[in-house]
Amino acid sequence: MNPRVSLCLSIYRRLASAYPQEFRMLYGVDLDRQGEDAVPEAWRRYGLTGLVRLLADIAVRLPGEYLAEFRQDVMYALRVFAKAPGFALVAVLSLGVGIGICCAVLSECRAIIGPAPGLRDPGTLATFIWRQVPYPYFERYRDAHRTVSAAAALIGPVPIAVTLGGERGTQTERVSGHLVSPEYFTTLGVTPAAGRVFGPETERPGMAPVVVVSDRFWRTHLGADPNAVGRSLRLNGALATIVGIGPKAFLGIWPQSPADLFVPVTCGAVLAPELSGDPLHRVDRAIFRVVFRLAPGVTLPAAEEALDGMTRLLDQETGVNQGRNPQGRVVRLMPAGTVGYARPEQRALVETFNVVLWALVLLLVCANLASLLLARGSQRRREIAIRLSVGASRARLVRQFLTESVLLSCAGGLAGILLAYWITHAISSLPLPLQIPLEFNCQIDLHVLAITLAAALAAGIGFGLAPALSLTRVNFGATLKEGAQAPLRGYRRFGIRNVFVVVQMAASLMLLLVTWFVTLAFLRAARLDTGAEVAHLHLFSLDPVRDGFAREAVAKLFAELPDELSRVDGVRAVALTGSALPSHADATSVSIPAADGRTGSVLKTAYRERVGANYFATLGLPLARGREFDQRDREQDGPAILTQTAAQAFFGVEDPIGRRLHIEDRDYRVAGLVRDMRVGFLTTKPMATVFLPLSSDWLGKSPVQQVTVLVRGTAGRDTMAAVRERMASLHPGLTVFDVHTMQEDLGRLNSLAQWTSAMYVILGVFALLLACIGMGGVTAYAVAQRRKEIGIRMALGARARQVQGLVLREGTVLVAGGLVLGVSGALVLERLFAAYSDLLARSFGQSGSDPLLVAGGPFVLASLAMLACYLPARRATGIDPMTVLREQ
């Protein structure tokens, strides 16, 4: 025989033997015989071309036959699900809810600490941790090319008064903006959607004012005008030309504090009062935040060390910041280019904590799927026996079971994707204080989604394979007898299904306790103990300089305003302040001379707040000792008021009243002592705070003169309507903005904790639901497995209560084992997280020691799990003994 014919015949036989078994059973002999005749004939008539066409024909038909069998498997699986819709619905819902919650929660967390949109290579961006520097310092940092390849300075966000024309004439509103150095956009790698961005060669001091607007501002305020570049905007009373429009979704380096307007610092005080007094050449004006792009190969610790040494050298050259504590690092860096402010330890904490919860949820979902497949498979022994008896191979049945489990996984994954998108859109509508724009909240993290779907698919294959292999090893001769129940193989206390249940119970309890610990910690953080009387307390903001008031007139305006508003009907008290409550954002060094005045000063750090006369009385917070500021303190910087924590830190047990403080080149004397106020999210301990007077001397030197006005009204009166009317009549050119109540202010602070708590409560409830589903499924499986035993016991006189006890006894053992492992695992996780983070250590320390929580979680889970066991146990009492006895 020709060698080519022999080779072709060998390949043909191999291809023919690769066809599916069912096809081989029907057409295998004819296919082999046809090949023996067709190969020599093809060679004789068509030569090599005929052999190639013959092999190509049989090779092309091979995947088609497998696809046809796969289609049969899918259609059969759909018919099986249609006969048991409850099983299919529970399996798909449990997978869908697990995948959806995991994707939504992790995507939201990663969105907050993830990279901001519109930036090039955000992983190489860094910034100082809560530190501002003078502009000359920034210029030295920018030139350190061995450490940084580029750097930019900015001030912001700052409110910018924008005057626009409308249907009702011109109107002025406050829009958030950034004052940036010319290198800002090139350092971030931002490409404009239209026009140009700033650059050192185009933005020079003395040039005409320009502005770059965000895509959001272009759409909402300029009507998406395609000719917007080149138009003029009136900003803070001055005209500025729009030179560029930012890319879509770009709202600055930190979208958590979004900016819609970008003004170069070279425009000076013409557009921004913050830039008055020539801060670009002064080393005593530390008002700029710096963003670095690290040089290639430079790590964050290496850059921190280099910049720390440079800062110390600059301090020695300028002699301005000699009051800083020389011990430890002068500066610390954190990654920039993220949506929210996230230090490295905070980012690692959030990711680690949520990955642990994600793993627990997926473990629950997978264990639940395995339990359901085992319970469902026990009811299909007769079907399997019939298919084996008529010639189906075990491999064919295993493939059918795998097709069913993979279909369940795919359906659960699709349901999870839809649920995840629904949850993210629902979260986007919540009033979060983070100010994260809608487009960042509505996105699903594709990496999280891919990993979750892959895990669900792997669970479907893995947990579908185990029961498939087990169920295809049946004695179909005995199974085909009446009742479809094979002879009892003996009760295996530590079978695979029991392992799944114990693991599921343990993971459920761990997830439940950990989420409850965190939820209670967040809820405690949400109950902000301000100590103030928030009822009928209104707030609004004023910014006279941006409204065109001369600086000399601002001090007089603020001096007269409290008396003017106090005469409004319904107003009980009025006070001015820099912020309604201590913001803990402006830290300062405090030098405390010793009582004898001869020894050296003690250096401390505290937060500084500027408040006006009668601030604490208007707030409804009485002083513990001393007096608060009054009208006499408007003209001098003499008195200071300390919180209790600040007094303890500065003077210990000594009496603070009358003691001297040295702050910002001025001497103060402690005039009063006020109780601590906790106003920060998850701020578990009070912060040392010094209150200084909002004096006319300070107002005259401050470039920014925006203040918040506190108005205490009377119940039953529209106080703010009367205040607005009085302001309009007395000061028609003054814009009243950001009007709200103290209740609303605290509500915004609390909403993040409440939202986070709600997400973790959902996870805890989901853990309970999955535990009940899994426990009910495995108990139903156990009843089906022991049906013959139960029937024999009932035939011998066992009562219904005894049968129920028989079934519940196994469930009780499994629940108890799961509870012990779950409590132990939760305590281990608590210790690990407590060692990982001081914040979680304090939170867990308060929640983990709560006996009601530690005992209540297992009790609730055990109660629901036993209820899930009781329903199959009750059905077991309906087994007909005579039917069972005939199954031999």
Q: What is the distance of C-alpha 739 from the center of its chain?
A: 29
Q: pLDDT-based confidence at 107, cuts 50/70/90? A: confident
Bridge partners of 541, per DSSP, are: 708, 737
How far from 137 is each of 53, 291, 298, 320, 667, CA to CA, in Å? 78, 13, 20, 12, 27
pLDDT digits (tens, 9 = 90+) for 235-268: 988 899 999 999 988 988 888 778 999 999 998 8
pLDDT higher than threshold 70 for residue 560: yes
Q: Which candidate, 868, 777, 880, 803, places its Cα nearest to that of 378?
A: 777
3-state SS, 182-243, equals: CCHHHHHCCCCCEECCCCCCCCCCCCCCEEEECHHHHHHCCCCCCCCCCCEEEECCEEEEEE
Q: Which one has a higher pLDDT value, 887 or 144?
A: 144
On the question of a cis peptide bond just before residue 693, with omega within 30 degrees of 0, the verdict is no
Residue 169: what pLDDT?
A: 47
Specify whether the CB–CB gap between 692 and 640 falls below 8 A: yes
Q: pLDDT-based confidence at 484, cuts 50/70/90? A: very low
Q: Which one has a higher pLDDT value, 90 or 711?
A: 711
Q: How far is it, in rounded angstroms, from Cα 840 to Cα 398?
A: 47
The structural domains of the chain, with segments of one domain joined by +, span 3-81, 84-114+342-487, 123-335, 494-530+741-888, 544-734
Q: How far is it, in rounded angstroms, from Cα 163 to Cα 174?
A: 9
Q: What is the DSSP letter of 295?
A: P
pLDDT higher than threshold 50 for residue 370: yes
pLDDT higher than threshold 80 for residue 753: no
pLDDT higher than threshold 60 for residue 422: yes
Q: How far is it, in rounded angstroms, from Cα 230 to Cα 195?
A: 9
Q: What sections of 391-436 are H helices per DSSP?
A: 394-428
CA dihedral 107, 111, 117, 119 (to 10 degrees): -120
Residue 246: what pLDDT?
A: 94
pLDDT higher than threshold 80 for residue 32: no
Tokens 């010793």 identify what position? 594
Q: pLDDT-based confidence at 195, cuts 50/70/90? A: very high
Q: How far is it, in rounded angstroms, from Cα 80 to Cα 464?
A: 15
Report pTM: 0.69
Residue 602: what pLDDT?
A: 64
According to DSSP, the β-strands at 261-264 and 169-180 are: parallel
Q: pLDDT-based confidence at 433, cuts 50/70/90? A: very low
Q: How far is it, in rounded angstroms, from Cα 246 to Cα 259?
A: 11
Which residues, at least 6 apart from 546, have a Cβ–Cβ distance to it below 8 Å? 159, 160, 161, 236, 237, 273, 706
pLDDT digits (tens, 9 = 90+) for 36-54: 778 787 777 777 787 788 8
pLDDT higher than threshold 70 for residue 651: yes
Residue 847: what pLDDT?
A: 53
pLDDT higher than threshold 90 for residue 429: no
Query: Residues 837-850: what's their mean pLDDT?
Result: 57
Which residues, at least 6 apart from 172, have a Cβ–Cβ distance to it below 8 Å? 161, 162, 163, 164, 547, 735
pLDDT digits (tens, 9 = 90+) for 589-609: 788 876 665 545 666 778 888
Tokens 């296919």 identify what position? 31
According to DSSP, the β-strands at 737-741 and 666-674 are: unpaired
Helix%, strand%, coil% for the chain, nearest 5: 55, 15, 30
Residue 188: what pLDDT?
A: 94
Q: How far is it, in rounded angstroms, from Cα 489 to Cα 497?
A: 15
Specify whether the CB–CB gap between 867 and 777 falls below 8 A: no
Query: Residues 837-861: what's their mean pLDDT?
Result: 65
Specify whether the CB–CB gap between 656 and 670 falls below 8 A: yes
pLDDT higher than threshold 70 for residue 826: yes
Listed in order, strand segments (DSSP E) in 281-352 are 289-294, 333-335
- With vertex at residue 464, the alpha carbon angle to CA 461 and CA 470, rounded to the nearest 5 degrees, is 135
Backbone angles phi, psi at 861, to 5 degrees: -65, -45
Q: How far is it, in rounded angstroms, from Cα 654 to Cα 335?
A: 42
Q: pLDDT-based confidence at 229, cuts 50/70/90? A: very high
Q: How far is it, in rounded angstroms, from Cα 180 to Cα 162?
A: 18
Counting Cα atoms < 13 Å in the Cβ hemisphere of 663 gives 28
Query: Residues 115-144: what's their mean pLDDT?
Result: 88
Residue 358: what pLDDT?
A: 74
Q: Which of 336-345, 581-590, 657-666 has the highest mean pLDDT?
A: 657-666
3-state SS, 474-533, equals: CCHHHHCCCCCCCCCCCCCCCCHHHHHHHHHHHHHHHHHHHHHHHHHHHHHHHCCCCCCC
Q: Which one has a higher pLDDT value, 829 or 184?
A: 184
Q: pLDDT-based confidence at 97, cuts 50/70/90? A: confident
Three-class DSSP category at 707: strand
The token pair at 210 is 């320009």
Counting Cα atoms < 13 Å in the Cβ hemisphere of 321 gives 23
Query: How many CB atoms are closer than 10 A to CB 190?
Result: 21
- Among the listed ranges 144-158, 365-379, 621-635, 828-842, which one has the minimum average pLDDT value? 828-842
Q: Which one has a higher pLDDT value, 275 or 677?
A: 275
pLDDT higher than threshold 50 for residue 550: yes
Specify whether the CB–CB gap between 671 and 659 falls below 8 A: no
Q: How far is it, in rounded angstroms, from Cα 690 to Cα 688?
A: 7
Counting Cα atoms < 13 Å in the Cβ hemisphere of 746 gives 20
Mean pLDDT of the chain: 78
Query: Residues 358-383: what's their mean pLDDT?
Result: 72
Q: Which candidate, 331, 489, 476, 303, places its Cα nearest to that of 392?
A: 476
pLDDT digits (tens, 9 = 90+) for 503-522: 777 877 887 777 777 777 66
According to DSSP, the β-strands at 125-128 and 333-335 are: antiparallel
Residue 478: what pLDDT?
A: 59
Query: How many CB atoms are closer than 10 A to CB 787?
Result: 20
Backbone angles phi, psi at 133, to 5 degrees: -135, 160
Residue 593: what pLDDT?
A: 78
Q: pLDDT-based confidence at 621, cuts 50/70/90? A: confident
Which amino acid, residue 593? P
Residue 703: what pLDDT?
A: 61
Q: How far is it, in rounded angstroms, from Cα 537 to Cα 743?
A: 8
Q: Which candidate, 317, 314, 348, places its Cα nearest to that of 331?
A: 314
Q: pLDDT-based confidence at 660, cuts 50/70/90? A: confident
Q: What is the DSSP letter of 688?
A: -
Residue 489: what pLDDT?
A: 43
